[in-house]
A and B are shown apart, each in its own frame.
Chain A
């Protein structure tokens, strides 16, 4: 057999106008941490269209259940919620078997992190992180408590809306994404400098999970639905056609 070129189907160009810019002075920390030179546009190679893979052996049985995965003496304090949805690509195709990781503050708005000094108390029964793989249909779910808003030092009186950080892999290093999930109806969303780094309000709506009563467990947990969209991908081969294709 001839030395075959890897089959390369590139991802769609990332819409940089939809994402936040690097330099967003309203979010002060970005000022010194944003490149000033233009990003160099790179044709994807095998290095970019591949990425790490994960299997069920990597996970424990409670990793997706934040009510139980750090519980010591009982359940954590707070509103019990289910966060569920699908990971899709821009063509609407589900992304199966992909790693979704989340982290969040507790109900009082305090993170379990040695660098968080906010005086709201640590919850002894809440770690604040979870992870899972999507199923064959791209579906995932977590059980957790609703995080509280908290103050942060951007302006003196800045408050983060309640949010859950979400990290997703997809199938390639090019699809790697970290974002934040907000909650329907939170009045802090439009006031937040980090939210306001996103230029298009429609993109903010897309990060705002909808209350989903149909998915609630009556008398137990309310639910929010949050779909995550990763970059889509060309389905055709480009110039490196394999023989017979």
Chain B
């Protein structure tokens, strides 16, 4: 016998279920309860940077939109800094910038969208630079543990080509699953495919 390590186990994940909105976005469930819903504004009007809109669908293995998915996003500001104490540049982040948001679908179509500022490049590991990106976390009925992925920007092809995370994806064609298409100036379309043809790359972080 040896000494016990005494680590605890992480609580096991369980699906957020179809009624996740009650807890995380009660307005979408159809009622008002809190003075402030969290995650509605990612970048307030005083946040410096280029205003953008991101929209898309989450599509399941049958090709149908996932109408009850809830997404959370997390991103750096236009200078590439996170509003978090462990980012050495966080003191320079506008107090109007939260960097985090909750994104709700239209229950009839599954279409979602959010407005924010375009993030800047952020430091990578070992002195590298990561291309501007937004982290996504998806939960819904039928998703047993939240799915993590990233969104990059089509119009930043040079930066994307050098991005250390995109370059980890061996199959070059799959890198495209993380790149949002620019449909017009300042508007990006990001389709997340859960399964099958064109399946989005998800990360074990």
CB distance from A237 to the nearest CB of B (A): 12
**A177 CA to B201 CA in the complex, in Å?**
20
Q: Would you call A33 and B66 a contact (CB within 8 A)? A: yes
Interface residues of A in 48-69 (CB under 8 A from B): 48-54, 58-60, 63, 69
Tell whether, in the assembled complex, residue A41 and residue B145 are in contact, meaning their CB atoms are under 8 Å apart.
Answer: no
Q: Please report which residues of chain B, range 101-136, place their CB below 8 angstroms from some CB of chain A when the two chains form the complex.
A: 107, 122-127, 130, 133, 135
Expressed in whole angstroms, the minimum distance between the Cβ of B68 and any Cβ of chain A is 7
Candidates B6, B60, B76, B148; contact of A32 at CB < 8 Å: B60
Contact partner of B19 among A14, A37, A103, CB < 8 A? Answer: A103
Residue B199 at the chain A interface, CB threshold 8 Å: yes
With A and B bound together, what is the CA distance between A114 and B7 in angstroms? Answer: 42
Closest chain-A Cβ to B137's Cβ sits at a distance in Å of 6
Determine whether B159 belongs to the interface, using a CB cutoff of 8 Å to chain A: no
CB neighbours of A29 from chain B (8 A):
141-142
In the assembled complex, A174 has its CB within 8 A of some CB on chain B: yes
User: Min CB distance, B201 to chain A, in Å?
Assistant: 6
CA separation between A60 and B74, bound complex, in Å? 24
Say whether A139 faces chain B, with CB atoms less than 8 Å apart.
no
Question: Does A234 sit within 8 A of B, measured CB to CB?
Answer: no
In whole Å, how far is B192's beta carbon from the nearest beta carbon of chain A?
10
B residues in contact with A32, CB < 8 Å: 60-62, 64, 142, 194-195
Name A11-56 residues within 8 Å CB distance of B.
14-16, 18-22, 24, 27, 29-37, 39-54
> What per-residue 1/0 map shows which CB atoms of A207-237 lie under 8 Å from chain B?
1000000000000000000001111100000
Q: Are A114 and B30 in contact (CB under 8 A)?
A: yes
Q: Taking each of B19, B62, B133, B141, which has the highest tally of chain A beta carbons within 10 Å of its own beta carbon?
A: B19
Proximity bits, B7-36, A CB within 8 Å = 1, else 0: 111111111111111111010011101111
Q: Which residues of B contact A176 (CB under 8 A)?
A: 72, 137, 146
Q: Is the CB of B82 within 8 A of A129?
A: no
Are B122 and A127 neighbours in the complex by a CB distance under 8 Å? no
For A180, what are the chain B residues with a Cβ–Cβ distance below 8 Å?
14-15
Q: Which of A37, A44, A45, A102 contacts B23 (CB 8 A)?
A: A102
Given A40-B204, A42-B205, A101-B23, A18–B10 Cβ distance below 8 Å?
yes
Report the interface size for chain A: residues with CB under 8 A from the other chain.
91
Q: Are A52 and B100 interface neighbours, CB within 8 A? A: yes
| Chain A residues with CB under 8 A of B35 | 60
Note all chain A residues with C-beta closer than 8 A to B11: 177, 179, 206-207, 228-230
Cβ of B92 under 8 Å from chain A: no
Alpha-carbon distance A47/B150, docked complex (angstroms): 10
Q: CB distance B202 to A90 under 8 Å?
A: no
Q: Which residues of A contact B26 (CB under 8 A)?
A: 127, 129
B6→A203 contact, CB < 8 A: no
Which chain A residue shows the least CB distance to B30? A114
Contact A20/B12 with A39-B203, A52-B99, A174-B205 known, Cβ cut-off 8 Å: yes
B134 to chain A, nearest CB (A): 9
With beta carbons under 8 angstroms apart, the residue of A47, A89, A128, A240 that contacts B22 is A128
Question: Which residues on the A side are within 8 Å of B124 (C-beta)?
Answer: 45
Can you name the residue of chain A whose Cβ is closest to the Cβ of B100?
A52
Contact A115 B72 (CB under 8 A): no
Q: Of B29, B66, B147, which is within 8 A of A113 by CB?
A: B29
Measuring CB to CB, which residues of chain A are less than 8 angstroms from any residue of chain B? 4-8, 14-16, 18-22, 24, 27, 29-37, 39-54, 58-60, 63, 69-70, 88-92, 99, 101-103, 111-116, 127-129, 131, 165, 167, 173-174, 176-180, 194-195, 197-198, 200, 202-204, 206-207, 228-232, 239-240
Residues of B within 8 A of A (CB): 6-24, 26, 29-31, 33-36, 38-39, 60-62, 64, 66, 68, 72, 74, 76, 82-88, 98-100, 107, 122-127, 130, 133, 135, 137, 139-148, 150, 165, 168-169, 174, 194-196, 199-205
Cross-chain pairs A/B with CB under 8 angstroms, 23 sampled: A14-B204, A19-B13, A31-B142, A35-B200, A35-B202, A48-B205, A53-B85, A59-B34, A60-B36, A70-B33, A92-B8, A99-B38, A101-B23, A111-B22, A113-B22, A116-B19, A178-B20, A178-B146, A179-B12, A179-B13, A198-B12, A229-B9, A232-B10
